[in-house]
């Protein structure tokens, strides 16, 4: 039994190290000069640490035709991810509350129709979204991406919130109705105060998914309107003859920092939310 545990832990440690190797290479290269990397290899320890790569990547690194770094693209992603996460979470909570606690004829059909969006391939939604954004004059705008992620995120948030809310006793709602509370008052005064565990789960899922999304960003935006994930394509088109591996590695790490922080600070609450009823 003891040797079995040792083998299991050793295998897990090895797999974890293998999984972290690409991240380790990027971190190390972000602290090396591009000339040193070009003269040796992409895998190696820095002869001396270069922290200026991060400042260069933030507001001076050249991508395609512009030399303003990734700062404006990071701001675009924040402008996109924060409102889309908040709106889709609130709408999903309201929809999940309606379907789970205010039963009506055909509620299961509506629930299945809403959650169908989770299982549809993203590519088959491109043409419909082209038509919608064109008719609303939202092509190549952050507002257009906010609309896309809000609508599509509702499938996920409705599913999780509905599965969480079915565990709330109906007697609690009946008592509120007897006291004269209506649909929205029950939602704001009773349901939302009981919802932090599941709302944390949906916020983490939504924020990381929206921040890391690439397809819609590269399809519906261009130039200075792109989120950071789409703009990172231009890292391979830097207008210099010498590859800027150090600055590129620093830019990639800066772009990944928000989701890493969300995971580090919200990870334990995420697990609590899942065990509290997000997945049954």
User: In order of start, what are the domains of the chain with their CATH numbers?
Assistant: 1-280 (1.10.3720.10)
pLDDT tens track of the chain, all 280 residues? 678 888 888 899 999 999 888 888 889 988 888 788 877 877 878 877 888 888 888 887 776 566 778 889 999 999 999 999 999 999 999 988 888 877 777 777 877 877 787 888 888 889 999 999 999 999 999 999 999 999 999 888 988 888 888 888 888 888 888 888 888 888 888 888 888 888 988 999 899 999 999 899 989 998 888 899 888 876 655 545 567 788 888 889 999 999 988 888 877 777 666 666 544 4
Rg, the chain, Cα only: 23
Instruction: Give me the residue label for tokens 């924040």.
Output: 78
Tallying the residues shown for the chain, one arrives at 280
Give helix 196-212 / helix 142-165 axis angle, nearest 10°.
150
Query: What single string gives the DSSP state of each residue in 115-154?
Result: HHHHHS-GGGGHHHHHHHHHHTT-TTSHHHHHHHHHHHHH
At 13-70, the pLDDT tens digits run 999 999 888 888 889 988 888 788 877 877 878 877 888 888 888 887 776 566 778 8
Contact between 237 and 158 (Cβ < 8 Å): no
User: Model pTM?
Assistant: 0.85
**CA–CA dist 76, 6 (Å, integer):** 47
């Amino acid at each position: 039994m003891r040797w079995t545990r040792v083998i299991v832990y050793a295998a897990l440690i090895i797999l974890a190290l293998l999984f972290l190797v690409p991240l380790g290479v990027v971190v190390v290269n972000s602290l090396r000069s591009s000339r040193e990397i070009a003269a040796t290899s992409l895998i190696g320890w820095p002869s001396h640490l270069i922290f200026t790569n991060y400042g260069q990547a933030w507001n001076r690194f050249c991508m395609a035709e512009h030399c303003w770094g990734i700062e404006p693209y990071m701001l675009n992603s924040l402008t996109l991810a924060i409102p889309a996460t908040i709106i889709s979470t609130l709408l999903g909570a309201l929809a999940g509350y309606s379907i789970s606690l205010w039963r009506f004829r055909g509620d299961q059909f509506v629930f299945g129709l809403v959650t169908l969006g989770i299982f549809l391939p993203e590519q088959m939604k491109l043409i419909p979204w082209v038509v919608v954004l064109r008719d609303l004059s939202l092509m190549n705008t952050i507002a257009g991406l906010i609309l896309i992620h809000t609508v599509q995120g509702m499938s996920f948030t409705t599913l999780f919130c509905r599965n969480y809310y079915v565990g709330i006793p109906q007697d609690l709602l009946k008592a509120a109705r007897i006291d004269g509370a209506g649909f929205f008052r029950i939602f704001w005064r009773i349901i939302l105060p009981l919802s932090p565990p599941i709302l944390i789960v949906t916020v983490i899922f939504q924020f990381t998914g929206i921040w890391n999304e690439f397809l819609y960003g590269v399809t519906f935006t261009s130039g200075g309107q792109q989120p950071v994930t789409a703009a990172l394509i231009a890292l391979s088109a830097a207008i210099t003859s010498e590859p800027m591996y150090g600055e590129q590695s620093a830019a990639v790490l800066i772009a990944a920092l928000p989701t890493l922080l969300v995971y580090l600070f919200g990870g334990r609450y995420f697990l609590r939310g899942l065990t509290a009823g997000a997945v049954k």
